[in-house]
Amino acid sequence: MRVRWLRITCRQAQVLLSEGQDRGLGPLETLRLRLHLTACDWCSKVARHFRFISQAVRRIGS
């Protein structure tokens, strides 16, 4: 219960996953996201998918 304030939803986690590719997340954002990802396989998949999309787009035309 004490860590409830650290919890974020999948919707919030997926915003942070995207923003984490574009800016440095703050320490609290990083902690919240990490805690969420350790417990959420679904968002862990989305994290991998976002990274893959970024790498794939950079290959267009190469």
Q: Which residues bind another protein (CB under 8 A)?
A: 9-12, 14-15, 18-19, 21-23, 41-43, 45-46, 48-50, 52-62
Could you tell me what percentage of the chain is helix, strand and coil, using 3-state DSSP and rounding each to the nearest 5? 70, 0, 30
Q: Residue 51 half-sphere exposure, CB side, CA atoms within 13 Å?
A: 7
| Cβ-based nearer residue to another protein, 27 or 41 | 41
Angstrom distance (rounded) from CA 44 to CA 42 = 5
Least distance to another protein from the beta carbon of 24, Å?
11
Collapsing DSSP to helix, strand or coil, 23 comes out as coil
Least distance to another protein from the beta carbon of 6, Å?
15
| Cβ-based nearer residue to another protein, 3 or 56 | 56
